[in-house]
Amino acid sequence: MADDLALLIPEIIVLLTIVFALVAEMLHLPRIALAVSVTGLLLAAGMTLPLLGADTSVFGGTYRIDTLSVWAKLILLPATALSILLARAELGGSDREGTVYVLICLVTLGSLVLASAGDTMLLVLGVLLSGLGSFALVAYPRDDAATEAAMKFFVFGSVTGAIMIFGLSYWFGGSGSTLLSELSLLDTKPVIAAVGLIAVIVGLGYKAALVPFHFWAPDAYEGAPVSIAAYMSVVPKIGAIFAFAQVVRDLPMDTHWPLVIAVVSVLTMTYGYLAALAQNNVVRLLAYSSIAQAGYFLLGIVAVGANPLAFVSIIVFAAAYAAMNLGAFAVLMRVGRTLDAFSGIGRRKVVMGIAMVVFLLSLAGIPPLAGFVGKFLLFGAAMDAGFTWLTVIAILNSVLSLAVYLRIVVPMYQQPDDATAPAQTAAPKPEPLITLVWIVAFVFTLGIGLAAQPILGQIS
Amino acid sequence: MLPIVSITLFLPLLGALLIMALRKTSTQAIHAIGIITSGLTLLGSLWMWSRGVNETGFAQLEELDWMPSIGAAYRVGVDGISLPLVLLTTLLFFLTFIYSAKVKERPQAFVVLMLLLETAAIGTFTALDAILFYVFFEVSLVSMYFMIAGWGHEDRQRAALMFFIYTLLGSLPLLLAILGLYLGSEPHTFDMRVWINNPPLDGLAAMLALIAMLFTFAVKTPVFPFHTWLPAAHVQAPAAGSVILAGVMLKFGTYGLVRFALQMTPDAFRDAGIVILIFGVVAALYGAFAALAQSDIKRLIAYTSVNHMGYVIVGVAIAALALDPAIRATALDGSVLQMVSHGLVTGALFFLVGMLQDRAHTREMDAFGGLLKITPILGWSFVLAAFASLGLPGLAHFPAEFQIFLVTLQVEPAAVIVILGIVITAGLYLRAIGKVFLGEPNEKWLAMSDLNTREVLTLAPLLILIIVVGIAPALVLDMIHKTTAALQF
C-alpha cells in the first residue's frame, strides 16, 4: 500500500493543490490560489520525472503507472499551468476567480485518471470528474451564451455518460471483471465486446470531441471564456485519447476495433476541417480544428497492439498538440475573436505574428515544427499497422487543413483597409501573462519539432 | 576537416537570425548583410567544389545524431548530381540579393525570407536523410509562399495561395513514399544512402511508392497536366522570387526524380520508363506551344521552363530505359547539365524581365518596340539569354540538350519528336525579340534608362557563365560524369 502511494505522489500533490487553492479562495485570496495551483501543478510534474520508465499498476491493477500515464502527467500538468495563467489574464479580478483555478485542477485530475485507467470504473470516474468541473467552467461568465453552452455540454455529457456506463456493464457481465486487462476474455463473445466498445467510443468520443459526438464543442468553446476553451481543447481531450489507448490495448482483435476507430477517425478529420472552412469566428474555427486534430490522434490508436510506434506517436503528438493549440489560443486572446481582428496583425506585431504563423503551420503539419513530427509518427504507425488507406485520407485532410489555417494567416499580412484602420489603431494593452504563455508554447512547438529525441528516447 | 557543407548550409540562416536580432537597422545595412551572407555562402559552395566529389557514393559527409530512436539523423553530403545544383543555388541567391537591394518595402522581412529560402534550397540538395530532405523541401515552400504573398504583383494573394496548396498537395505523397521506404528498410532507417544502395521496396509496393514520388516531383517540376500553378505563381511573384522559383526550386522536382524515384525504386522506374518518357515529351511540347500563345513576356518565359524541364524528364527516362551504361551516363549528364543551364539562362531572363517591368510597369510584348536602340545593354543581354534559351550552339543549353537528343535517338527514336520543341522556342523567342526590341522605338519609352551598375553586376556573371558553359561544358560535366558513370541502378 505504501509503495502504491509512492507511485501516486503526482496525483496526491494535485489533490492537495486543489484543497489548498480552495482554502485560499475561501479566504478571498485569489492571488494565493493562483500561486498555489501553478506551483502545485509544476511540482507534480517535477515529481513525475522519477517515474519515467515505470510500467506497473497500483490498487490491484485498476490504476496504471505506465508510459501513457507518466507522459500524460508530463504533458497535461504543465499545459494546465499555462491554461491557468491564461485564465488569470482573462478572468483575473472577477469574483470567484479562485474557483476557476480549483476547477481547472480538478478537471486535470480527472483527465489524469482517464489516462491512467486500468479499470472500467476508473474510466467512468475520470469522465465524471473531468466532466463536472468542465460544465462549471463553461458556465462561469453567467451570461446567456455561456449558460446555453454549458447546458448543451451538460445534457450531451449526461446522455453519453449514461450510454457508456450501460455499455460497460456488458463488459462486466462478459468478462466477470471491471479490469481492462481482463478484456481479452471477451474473445469468444464478440457481440458483448462490440457493445462495450461502442459505449466507450460514445463516452470517450464525447470527451475527445470525436465526430459524431462533437456537437457540443463549438458552442461550448464559443460560449466559454477563451482561456477555458483553450484548456478544454487540450487537457480533457488528451486525457480521453490516452484512455482510448488504455482500453484498446487489451481488446481482442476479432472485434475489428481498429477498423471501427479508423472510420471514426476519417469522419472526425474530414468533418472537422470541412466545418472549419466555413467559420468566420476564430474560436469556432479553432474548435473545429481541434475536433479534426482528435481524428489524427486516432491514427495512433488504430495501431495500438500492432506496433510499438503507436504509443510513441500518440505521446509525441499530444505534446506537440498541447503546445501549438495553447499557443494559438493565447494569441487569439490577444488579438480577438473574429477573422477581421487578425487583419494586418502580422505587420503590426511582428514577433507575435511569426509565433501565430508557426502555431498554425504546426497544426497543419508543416515541417520542421512539432505538429509535423507528431503527425509523421502517427502516419508511420498507421501505415505499419496496415492502414495505408487511412494514412492517405489523413494526408489529403492535411491539405484541407492548410486551407483552414491559411484563412487566419492570409489576413494577418494583408494591408489593412482604410475603413477598418481606425478601430485597429487602439493596440491591445500588453498582457505579460499571455505573452509568457505563447512564448513558452512557441519554444516547445519549435523544440519538439527540431529535438524530439529526448521524448522518443524516453519512450522506447 | 572543417564541416564546410554544414557551414554553407546554415550561413544564410545565421544571417537571417542576425537581421532579426537587429530590430532597428537601416535598409542599406539589411541589404548589405544579405549580400555579404549570400556571398560567403557562395564562397562556401566554391570551397565544396574545390574539395570535389567521389568516384562512387557521396563525398564530404557530415553526420550528427538527431532522432536515433527512429533512425533519423542529420546527414549531409554531395555527389556529382547535387554539387552543381548547390553551386547554381548559391550563385543565383547571391545575384538575387544584389538585384533586390532596391527593395524598400519591409526590407527586413524580405531579406530574412530570402535567406531562409536559401538554407532550405541548399538543404534540399545536400540532405542525405529523407526526413531532413522533406523538412527543407517544405520550408522552401513556406518561405516562397510568404515571398509571393508579400512582395508580388496585382493578384498575389490568390497566386500565393494556389502555389502553396498545390505544391503542398503535391509534396504530401512524397511523405507517404518516404514512410513506405522507411518501413520497408531493415533495420528501419531514413538514411537515403542505404535506400539508394539497397532499394528497400520491390514489386507492387515499389510501384506505388514510385507513383507517389512521381506525383510529387511532377507537380514541382512541373509536368503537364500538373503545371497550372506555375504561370500564376511566376507572373505574380516579384522578380527575385521568379528567379529563385525557376532557377532553383523547379530543380527540386527533377533532382528528386533522379535522387528518389530513379535511385530508390530503380526497377519500378524502368518498368514505368515509357510512361515517364511520354510525360516528358508531352511536357516539353506543351510548354513550347503554350509559350507560343503568350503575350505577357513573363508568362512566356514561365512556359518555356515547362518545356526545358520536359527535356530533363526525357533524359532521366532514357537513362532508366537504356541498357548500355555509357548511354545511361550520357543521358543523366545531359539532364543534370540541363538543370544547371536552365538555372543560369532562365535566371537571367527573369532578371531582365524584372528590370524591364521596373521601368515600364507592364509586361505586355505589344506595348514595347525598338528597345534595342533605347536601352542597348538590356536589349543585347536579353537577346543573348533568349538565344541561349532556344538552344543556340555555343551557349549553355546546347551541350545539355544535344546529349539528351543524342541518347533519345539511340534508345527510343520515336521520342525524338521532342526536338520540335526547339523549333517552336526559336520561333517564339524571335517573335518576342522582334516585338520588344526591334522595329521602330515606341515614343512612350524614349526616356527609358539603360541598366545601372547594380543591374549590370547582377546580370554579368550569368551571361558570362552562359557562354562559358556553352563553350566549355566539361567544366561542369566532368564533375557530373564522375558520379553518373558509376551509378548502379
What are the pLDDT digits (tens) for A276-310?
999 999 999 999 999 999 999 999 999 998 888 89
User: Which positions in chain B touch A413 (Cβ < 8 Å)?
Assistant: 146, 149-150
Q: Which of A366, A376, A406 sits opposite B161 (nearest CB)?
A: A406
Let me know: does A102 contact A33? Beta carbons within 8 Å. yes
User: Taking CB atoms and an 8 Å limit, are B168 and A368 in contact across chains?
Assistant: no
User: Which positions in chain B touch A456 (Cβ < 8 Å)?
Assistant: 67, 69-70
The Cα B46–Cα B478 span in angstroms is: 16
**Residue that is written with C-alpha cell 533519345 in the block:** B408
List the end-to-end C-alpha distance of chain A, in Å, as a whole number.
Answer: 29
User: Which positions in chain B touch A384 (Cβ < 8 Å)?
Assistant: 183
User: Taking CB atoms and an 8 Å limit, are A402 and B134 in contact across chains?
Assistant: no
CA distance A374 to chain B (A): 13
* pLDDT reading at A123 higher than 90: yes
User: Taking CB atoms and an 8 Å limit, are B165 and A403 in contact across chains?
Assistant: yes
Q: Can you give the pLDDT at residue B177?
A: 93
Domain ranges for chain A, please list them.
Answer: 1-252, 256-460
User: Which positions in chain B touch A460 (Cβ < 8 Å)?
Assistant: 69
Confidence of residue B374 (pLDDT cuts 50, 70, 90): confident
Q: Can you give the pLDDT at residue A426?
A: 47
Q: Can you give the pLDDT at residue B437?
A: 87
Residue to mutate among B116, B135, B139, B171, with most A CBs inside 10 A, is B135
Q: Please name which of A238, A253, A250 lies closest in space to residue A71, comparing C-alpha atoms.
A: A238
Q: What is the rounded average pLDDT for all residues in chain A?
A: 90
Q: Does B211 touch chain A (CB under 8 A)?
A: no
Q: B129 forms bridges with which residues in the sheet?
A: B191
**Residue that is written with C-alpha cell 532550405 in the block:** B120
Cα A177–Cα A178–Cα A182 angle in degrees, nearest 5: 60
Cα B113–Cα B117–Cα B120 angle in degrees, nearest 5: 140
User: Which positions in chain A touch B123 (Cβ < 8 Å)?
Assistant: none
* Residue B237 Cα distances to B193, B280, B299, angstroms: 36, 26, 11
Confidence of residue A430 (pLDDT cuts 50, 70, 90): low
| Radius of gyration for the alpha carbons in chain A, expressed in angstroms and rounded | 21
User: Which positions in chain B touch A383 (Cβ < 8 Å)?
Assistant: 176, 179-180, 183
Interface of B with A in 97-126 (CB under 8 A): 106, 109
Let me know: does A53 contact A110? Beta carbons within 8 Å. no
User: Which positions in chain B touch A452 (Cβ < 8 Å)?
Assistant: 67
Question: ipTM of this predicted complex?
Answer: 0.87
* pLDDT reading at A3 higher than 80: no
Cα B291–Cα B359–Cα A416 angle in degrees, nearest 5: 90
Q: Which of B67, B139, B175 sits opposite A379 (nearest CB)?
A: B175
The neighbour count for residue A249, using CB atoms within 10 Å, is: 17
* Residue B421 Cα distances to B220, B247, B309, angstroms: 21, 20, 12
User: Taking CB atoms and an 8 Å limit, are B172 and A399 in contact across chains?
Assistant: yes
- The A-side interface with B (CB below 8 A) comprises 309, 312, 347, 350, 361, 366-368, 372, 376-377, 379-380, 383-384, 388, 391-392, 395-396, 398-399, 402-403, 406, 410, 413-414, 452-453, 456-457, 459-460
Q: Please name which of A228, A222, A344 lies closest in space to residue A285, comparing C-alpha atoms.
A: A222
Q: What is the rounded average pLDDT for all residues in chain B?
A: 90
For chain A, helix (H) and strand (E) counts, in that order, are: 20, 2
A209's CB contacts (< 8 A; 6+ apart) are A216, A217, A237, A290, A291, A294
User: Which positions in chain A touch B175 (Cβ < 8 Å)?
Assistant: 376, 379, 395
Q: Can you give the pLDDT at residue B388?
A: 94
Q: Does B180 touch chain A (CB under 8 A)?
A: yes
Q: Can you give the pLDDT at residue A306?
A: 82
Give long-range contacts, CB 8 A cutoff, 24+ apart: A106-110: A106/A18, A106/A132, A106/A133, A107/A133, A107/A134, A107/A137, A107/A231, A107/A232, A107/A235, A107/A236, A108/A14, A108/A41, A108/A76, A108/A77, A108/A80, A108/A235, A109/A11, A109/A14, A109/A15, A109/A18, A110/A236, A110/A239
CA distance B205 to chain A (A): 11
* pLDDT reading at B80 higher than 60: yes
The Cα A134–Cα B484 span in angstroms is: 64
Q: At what angle do helices A30-48 and A67-91 cross, to 10 degrees?
A: 160
What share of residues in chain B are helix, strand, coil (percent, to 5)? Answer: 75, 5, 20
Let me know: does A86 contact A434? Beta carbons within 8 Å. yes
Q: Can you give the pLDDT at residue B445?
A: 80
Closest residue of B to A368, CA-based?
B135
- Mean pLDDT on B32-55: 92
CA distance A351 to chain B (A): 10
The Cα B255–Cα B83 span in angstroms is: 11
DSSP B269-325: HHHTHHHHHHHHHHHHHHHHHHHHT--BHHHHHHHHHHHHHHHHHHHHHHHHH--SH
Residue A155, phi then psi, degrees to nearest 5: -60, -45
Residue A140 per-residue DSSP state: T
Q: Can you give the pLDDT at residue B370?
A: 82
User: Which positions in chain B touch A458 (Cβ < 8 Å)?
Assistant: none
Residue to mutate among B25, B108, B168, B207, with most A CBs inside 10 A, is B168
The neighbour count for residue B426, using CB atoms within 10 Å, is: 17
User: Taking CB atoms and an 8 Å limit, are A380 and B150 in contact across chains?
Assistant: no
A336: left (phi over 0), alpha (psi -120 to 50) or beta: left
User: Is the peptide bond prior to A368 cis by the omega test (within 30 degrees of 0)?
Assistant: yes
Residue to mutate among B19, B69, B181, B183, with most A CBs inside 10 A, is B69
CA distance B73 to chain A (A): 10
Q: Residue A103 corresponds to which cell in the numbers above?
A: 476547477
Q: Does B409 touch chain A (CB under 8 A)?
A: no
* pLDDT reading at B489 higher than 80: no
B122's CB contacts (< 8 A; 6+ apart) are B8, B9, B12, B41, B45, B86, B89, B90
What are the pLDDT digits (tens) for A396-421?
999 899 989 999 998 888 776 554 54
What are the pLDDT digits (tens) for B431-465?
999 888 888 887 788 788 888 888 999 999 999 99
Q: Can you give the pLDDT at residue B443?
A: 79
Q: Which of A361, A410, A414 sits opposite B142 (nearest CB)?
A: A361
User: Which positions in chain A touch B106 (Cβ < 8 Å)?
Assistant: 347
Let me know: does B386 contact B432? Beta carbons within 8 Å. yes
Q: Which of B165, B168, B179 sits opposite A379 (nearest CB)?
A: B179
Confidence of residue A253 (pLDDT cuts 50, 70, 90): confident
Size of interface A-B (CB pairs under 8 A): 75
Q: Does B164 touch chain A (CB under 8 A)?
A: yes
What is the bridge-based pairing of β-strands A63-65 and B72-78? unpaired
> Which residue type is seen at B472?
A
* Residue B222 Cα distances to A118, B246, B304, B443, angstroms: 53, 10, 11, 39
- Mean pLDDT on B474-483: 90
What are the pLDDT digits (tens) for B169-224?
888 899 999 999 999 988 889 999 999 988 888 889 999 999 999 999 999 888 88
CA distance B67 to chain A (A): 5
CA distance B200 to chain A (A): 15
- DSSP H helical ranges for B152-228: 156-184, 192-197, 203-220
CA distance A399 to chain B (A): 6
* pLDDT reading at A425 higher than 50: no
The Cα B130–Cα B191 span in angstroms is: 7
Confidence of residue A422 (pLDDT cuts 50, 70, 90): very low
User: Which positions in chain A touch B176 (Cβ < 8 Å)?
Assistant: 379, 383, 388, 391-392, 395
* pLDDT reading at B48 higher than 80: yes
Q: Does B165 touch chain A (CB under 8 A)?
A: yes
For chain B, helix (H) and strand (E) counts, in that order, are: 22, 2
In terms of residues, how long is chain B? 489
% of chain A residues with pLDDT over 90: 68
Let me know: does A168 contact A221? Beta carbons within 8 Å. no
Q: Which of A395, A414, A453 sits opposite B66 (nearest CB)?
A: A453
Q: Which of A366, A376, A456 sits opposite B69 (nearest CB)?
A: A456
List the end-to-end C-alpha distance of chain B, in Å, as a whole number.
Answer: 32
Q: Residue B316 corresponds to which cell in the numbers above?
A: 532521366
The Cα A34–Cα A36 span in angstroms is: 5
CA distance B47 to chain A (A): 28
Confidence of residue A224 (pLDDT cuts 50, 70, 90): very high
Q: Which of A361, A399, A456 sits opposite B70 (nearest CB)?
A: A456
Domain ranges for chain B, please list them.
Answer: 280-489
The Cα A29–Cα B230 span in angstroms is: 62
What are the pLDDT digits (tens) for A58-88?
988 899 999 999 999 999 999 999 999 999 9
